Chain A
Amino acid sequence: MKNSLSDNGAGSARARGLGFRKILLLLALLLPALQPAAQAADIPEMADSFRSDGKIYVVVAVVTVVLAGLLAFLISLDRKVSRLERELKE
């Protein structure tokens, strides 16, 4: 019995010489260890690396500048209309 249960690398190939029971035992030990790995791959992908780089803040800054620019334009238009309204009243 050279094959130890801790050698889980090429388990199925070496386990050929073992009995059915021992294969089951091997699987019982291996599968719970594999499950967390499968779950890790199952987590939906998000912009994690992008966020950890800190680069998302660049996008936020750009969006803020665009929004601020457009809103400033709207505010200045609003004021111009107010001035015209005042002038027309006089």
Chain B
Amino acid sequence: MKNNWWKGLAVVLLLYTGVAGFLLPVPRLHILNETIRNLYFHVPMWFGMTFILAASVYYSIRYLRTPTPQLDVLSHEAAKTGILMGLVGLATGSIWARFAWGAWWTNDPKLNGAAIAMLIYGAYLVLRSSFTDEQQRARISAIYNIFAFATAMPLFYILPRLTDSLHPGAGGNPAFAKYDLDDNMRLVFYPAVIGWTLLAFWLAQVASRIATLKLKVYEKQLV
């Protein structure tokens, strides 16, 4: 239980986000209106995704240095959690876009970049499932995972900033700079980012432990 303090922190921060995210005051802005509160739910998905995918790359590198099934499981489950958060981020962003920009999807560099990055990670899952040999699967998908991260991050955070975009934080638009001035939003936004990121790590940890258990059970059956 001593090692699980961060799970308790995740519960507290997420419940706080759920309450304070609706009740604390937010700046009055045209078009956005109350939807500005999506900042506490949509944006942390991408933060969580970035951190958990970085963790996945970390385990992939460690796997390539010392190949163990445990490290492969950790990197795979972290990547899957990151993909889930990215898909939720795309879906929530699409809903927000419908009411802020008037369309479910626009051919915006930020949106298309995120979609392409998600497809790159989709290919990671396809690649994994196409091997029968476990060591080959683990090694090649670890290498692919590193390249996927290196390709996806510029698509998320660098390329959209180089062109015009509707999306905040792209094409010269301010990201949070404008809202950051509002201390009330900061009071919820930072805990929300930490809470949702911790939740992503929690999900990945439980999924990894189940996958590891499965491996152990299969080993016992073989003996």
Interface residues, chain A, CB within 8 Å of chain B? 43-47, 56, 59-60, 63-64, 67-68, 71, 74-75, 77-78, 81, 84-85, 88
* A77 x B206 contact (CB < 8 A): yes
Number of interface residues, chain B, beta carbon within 8 A: 25
Q: Is the beta-carbon distance between A74 and B213 smaller than 8 angstroms?
A: no
Cα-based distance from A47 to B212 in the complex (angstroms): 48
The smallest beta-carbon distance between B95 and chain A, in angstroms, is 16
Give per-residue flags for B24-54: 1 if the beta carbon is below 8 A from chain A beta carbons, else 0: 0010111011100000000000000000000
- State whether B210 touches A67 (Cβ < 8 A): no
Assembled-state Cα–Cα distance A3/B37 (Å): 52
- Evaluate whether A44 and B213 lie within 8 angstroms (CB atoms) in the complex, with A60-B18, A74-B203 already known: no
Which residue on chain B has the smallest CB distance to residue A78?
B206
Select B7's contact among A43, A47, A56, A78, beta carbons within 8 Å: A78
- CB atoms of B11 and A81 under 8 A apart: no
- One of A45, A60, A74, A77 near B22 (C-beta < 8 A): A60
Contacts of A59 in B (CB 8 A): 22
Check A44–B18 contact: CB distance below 8 A. no
In the complex, what's the smallest C-beta–C-beta distance from A78 to chain B, in angstroms? 5
Q: Are A44 and B23 in contact (CB under 8 A)?
A: no
Closest 10 CB pairs of A and B: A44-B28, A63-B18, A81-B209, A44-B30, A60-B22, A67-B18, A47-B34, A71-B11, A64-B18, A78-B206
Residues of A within 8 Å of B15, CB to CB, are 64, 67-68, 71
User: Which residues of chain A are near B222, meaning CB under 8 Å?
Assistant: none
Can you list 10 A-B contacts with CB-CB less than 8 angstroms, sorted by A residue number? A44-B29, A46-B28, A56-B22, A60-B18, A60-B23, A64-B15, A67-B14, A71-B15, A75-B7, A81-B206
Q: Is the CB of B202 closer than 8 A to any CB of chain A?
A: yes
CA distance A44 to B32 in the complex (A): 9
Q: Is B217 an interface residue (CB 8 A)?
A: yes
Are A88 and B7 in contact, CB atoms less than 8 angstroms apart?
no
Known contacts A71-B11, A78-B206, A81-B213: does B28 contact A64 (CB below 8 Å)? Answer: no
